[in-house]
Amino acid sequence: MMNELSNLEKIRKEKGFSRLELSKLSGVAPQTIQKLEQGLYNVNMVKLGTLVALSKALHCKVIDLLNTELKRIVG
């Protein structure tokens, strides 16, 4: 597990959303959001549709949700 906040959790908190609020806005299950934030699911391996839904709800780019290593590759 990660010690620092995931990008998803950082952005969600910056926007002032609870996991449940983000779930309602994005259509992504709150359990999925929790597992992504806790590092139990690898955000870099999640279906693109899930990342698109989360990024739309958070008004950010999909790449903003990815971890640092993958950002270096695609960014």
Cβ-based neighbour number of residue 46 at 10 Å = 18
DSSP 44: G
Q: What is the enclosing helix (H) or strand (E) of 5?
A: none
* Tokens found for residue 15: 């926007």
pLDDT of residue 73: 66
CA distances from 24 to 2, 4, 34 (A): 26, 25, 14
The tens digit of pLDDT for each residue in 17-54 reads 999 999 999 999 999 999 999 989 888 788 999 999 99
Token digits for 6?
């995931």
Q: Where are the domains of the chain?
A: 7-74
pTM confidence score: 0.85
Domain 7-74 = CATH 1.10.260.40: yes
φ/ψ of 23, rounded to 5, equals -60, -45
